[in-house]
Amino acid sequence: MNGSVVTLLCLLGSRALAFVPPSPLVPPSPRSRTPELCSTIDRSQVQTSPSASGRGGSSSDQQGNAPIDVCIENLGKRLKGGPGTLSRDEVETVDAALRQIIDHVESSGMAEQNEGSKGDDNNDLRTAILEMDGQRVSSLIESGAEMSESDSELAFWAVVKEVDRCEEDDLPLPGDVPVVLHHIFDADLRHLLTREKQTTNVTCMQPDEAVGIESKAKRLNYIMDDGCHKDLPLAEGRRCEGGECCDKCSRNIFPTFATDVECNLEKFPELSSLTFNNLGKVRTSTILMFVRLIERVRRTIAQEYGLPLSLVLPLQAYSRKYVAGTTQKGGGGGEGDFVILHTDEATHSGYHYSCVLYLSTQGEDFEGGNFVFNDPVDEGDKSADIYDEDNSDGADMSLADAIRLVGRKLTPFHPTKGVIFSSGWENMHEVETITSGTRYAVPCFFTTCPVPDAAYDQMVQGKPKTNEDVADDWLHLLLAHREESPVESVGRVKELLMKWHYMCAPLTSHN
């Protein structure tokens, strides 16, 4: 309805009520409220209520009418008939309808004001971020402000700038730095939970300890021959040696786990070959982005498997390149054009949850290289020769490969941005040969084995007690850009991984 008409209705309603003597049963009309409030109302948004339909009802056809229609009908009658035309019930109906209209407008105005306040909060949040005022950032977030994805990026680069400034001026890192980082990590998980995820639940499996000559022979072959990995006798259950794993197992694919900017090797060139053991010449932005991605994985694992965040710690994380036409050297992390069938928990008993993040794109940066889960064919499933979707006829498959696939079901997925899965024998996997190009990826492995308190007692600085202590750990263990011997590097990385939760989570979550 035209705003001026609604305003006129409010004014006329007040005038119409003036012709009726006051009644103790009728509250005074809200004349003091600004009639212009009514000019913003949309009649379709104001629903009728018992009070607006008339207390006792002036006419049955007004039941269910919107308050604005009630006003039009009754005030039209008043204008046509003059003073005294409206009965007391009709006046009460108009009064109630007008009050409902004004209440609605005022509540709408308050909602708009709240939206404006939220916008002001976000502006204040950005200002606090740029000023690296961790206390103010925390206060605003506790009051309801949220870091958008753009705010998170703003905060990330503000932290990078602050760290570089402190290093250039030879200053200690302020406690505001870890505080802002913690809020970035919180926001990252919140944003990730709104993105696509493809989950497949699987039955947890572990080696079968059954006694028997055949079983022992298979276990021996499993140890001596990688090609026999799939033949290891298995039983249901989770081994999780020394840890506290969830009793559920799964595979989770995240097509957009990280943004293209976060994986940009031009912006973060050292991501292509980063390890925590050699950070002396790695720029601050790359170190912080690497930590940010690993922490996002850690929080996602805790979320997905219902584990306390403090229980999940990285045990190994590095970036590697896999080049078409090269031969793999060492375990799953060496340069090569494929990765053999393996189980992560068999590689290291402390690997309880695994992740692979992809920094390059299949079909653009490399061809081939599917990540493949390798499972036994279900009992009763006669389709024993289940091949890769790109080679379903098996025409180019060698005899050795054909034998290797007998009784197996392969589940390939085209690498996108990330896959997270339980590390047990339920998730045997391999990476098919890269036929061209180079694949950059970040394998990372997490444990649920608790760190003994005695280990912290042996450190120069044990568990941090203040944000300044946390900042000191960030500087000493990650951001110092100093030369160190291999022995010093190993000790630093060991301390870093044990202190990871204390560095990447707020003081309130420290045990």
Number of domains in the chain: 3
Same domain, 219 and 167: no
Both 179 and 37 in one domain: the answer is no
288 and 348, same domain (yes or no): yes
Question: What pLDDT digit, counting tens, does each position of 220-252 carry?
Answer: 545 445 567 888 899 999 999 999 999 999 999
Q: Chain-wide mean pLDDT for the chain?
A: 81
Is residue 212's pLDDT more than 70? no
Give the lowest-confidence range in 150-164, 387-401, 443-457. 387-401
Report residue 51 CA to chain centroid gap: 47
3-state SS, residue 51: coil
- Could you tell me the CATH number of the domain that includes residue 306? 2.60.120
Tell whether 82 and 206 lie within a shared domain.
no
Kindly state whether residues 260 and 361 are assigned to the same domain. yes
* Structural domain includes residue 149: no
Question: How confident is the model over 300-325, as pLDDT tens digits?
Answer: 999 999 999 999 999 999 999 888 98
pLDDT at 49 over 90: no
Question: In this predicted structure, what is the pLDDT of residue 207?
Answer: 93
Of the given ranges (68-72, 113-117, 245-249, 410-414), which has the lowest mean pLDDT? 113-117
Q: pLDDT value at position 404?
A: 64
- pLDDT confidence of residue 69: 76
Backbone phi, psi, residue 360, to 5° = -130, 165
Residue 285 has pLDDT above 80, yes or no: yes
pLDDT for residue 22: 43
pLDDT of residue 214: 52
Last residue of a domain, one of 86, 114, 142: 114
pLDDT value, residue 155: 98
pLDDT band at 268 (very low <50, low <70, confident <90, very high): very high
Residues 222, 175 share a domain:
no
Residues 341 and 293 in one domain: yes
Same domain, 17 and 160: no
d(CA 388, CA 383): 13
Residues 138-183 have pLDDT tens digits of: 999 999 999 999 999 999 999 999 999 999 999 999 999 999 999 9
Banded model confidence at residue 40, pLDDT cuts 50, 70, 90? very low
Higher-confidence position of 455 and 65 = 455
Q: Is residue 457 part of a domain?
A: no
Predicted pLDDT at 275: 96
Residue 293 has pLDDT above 50, yes or no: yes
Residue 225 lies in a domain: yes
> Hey, which residues does 357 pair with through a beta bridge?
418, 442
332 vs 143, higher pLDDT:
143
The pLDDT assigned to 252 comes to: 97
Q: What are 83-138's pLDDT values in tens digits? A: 777 787 777 777 777 767 766 665 555 445 555 555 666 899 999 999 999 999 99
495 domain-assigned:
yes
Cβ–Cβ < 8 Å for 100, 29? no
Question: Do 285 and 407 belong to one domain?
Answer: yes
Q: Do 400 and 344 fall into the same domain?
A: yes
To 5 degrees, how large is the angle CA 452–CA 458–CA 464?
80
Range of the domain at 267: 197-450
In 318-377, DSSP assigns E strands to: 320-323, 339-342, 353-358, 366-368, 371-376
What percent of the chain shows pLDDT beyond 70?
Answer: 72
Looking at residue 302, its pLDDT comes to 98
What does the longest C-alpha to C-alpha distance in the chain come to? 108
| Pair 361, 485 in one domain | no
Q: Which residue has the higher pLDDT, 65 or 408?
A: 408
pLDDT tier at 332, thresholds 50, 70, 90: very low
Same domain? For 221 and 183 the reply is no
Rounded mean pLDDT of 385-389?
47
Cα separation of 432 and 369, whole Å? 5
Residues 6 or more apart from 251 whose CB is under 8 A from it?
A: 199, 200, 202, 373, 419, 420, 421, 427
